[in-house]
Amino acid sequence: MSNGSRRSPSTCLRCCLLVFALTSAIYISEPDLFSRFKKGFTLDNKSAVSCAPCSCNCPPPLSLLKIAPGLVNLTVTVLKDAKETEECGKNDPELNNEMEKQFVDRLTEELKLQKAVAEEHTRHMNVTYIAARRLGSQYQKETEKCNTATETCEEAREQVEALLIKERKVTSVWERRARQSGWEAS
């Protein structure tokens, strides 16, 4: 490709904007153009073909009150629901008994429940803590065993290294004597 046939990005952007503008204009004016196509294009308005008037027996539009009566006055509906709820529980002796309790009694019950939950939580935490301590103690013992074994191995390595150095000295003494006696290494 030569540089002359290449389009610059700004030219491409302009073309895209032009296509977008034309598409938008057609989309916006489409209903008007479509109605003109239906009526027909004529040079003078007198000879335009017109359609017969529509006879429509559509029902009148529904009002908001008919669609959702509760939307107009929400407080009436809420109060009505509250009264129905009160009436609903009047026949249940268990519910009536519960509702007649003093506020202090209910508060005391709630505090007892919270105390029981806290005690259960504390007990569970203590059991978990004891298990963690046991496991930590076991790991500590294993660590001490490993450390002891490592120290023993290190001491043995140091002893062997000292013996090896001593053995090399003795070997070099014997090798020197052998060479003085006429021995030659091959």
User: How many angstroms separate the CA atoms of 75 and 57, rounded?
Assistant: 37
Predicted local distance difference test score (pLDDT) of residue 154: 95
Task: Tell me whether residue 181 is in a domain.
Answer: no
Q: Report the Cα 184 to chain-centroid distance in Å.
A: 82
Task: Tell me whether residue 130 is in a domain.
Answer: yes
The residue range of the domain holding 135 is 103-162
Q: Report the Cα 28 to chain-centroid distance in Å.
A: 42
Name the one residue in this structure whose structure tokens are 């598409």: 23
Name the one residue in this structure whose structure tokens are 């389009």: 7
Task: Tell me whether residue 140 is in a domain.
Answer: yes
Task: Tell me whether residue 157 is in a domain.
Answer: yes
Tokens at 16, concatenated: 């895209």
Over residues 89-103, mean pLDDT: 69
Tens of pLDDT, residues 138-148:
999 999 999 99
Predicted local distance difference test score (pLDDT) of residue 13: 86
Predicted local distance difference test score (pLDDT) of residue 1: 45
Give the number of domains in the chain: 1
9 pLDDT band, cuts 50/70/90, is: confident
Task: Tell me whether residue 37 is in a domain.
Answer: no
Tens of pLDDT, residues 20-79:
888 888 888 777 776 766 666 554 455 445 566 666 666 666 665 666 555 555 544 445
User: How many angstroms separate the CA atoms of 136 and 118, rounded?
Assistant: 26
Task: Tell me whether residue 74 is in a domain.
Answer: no
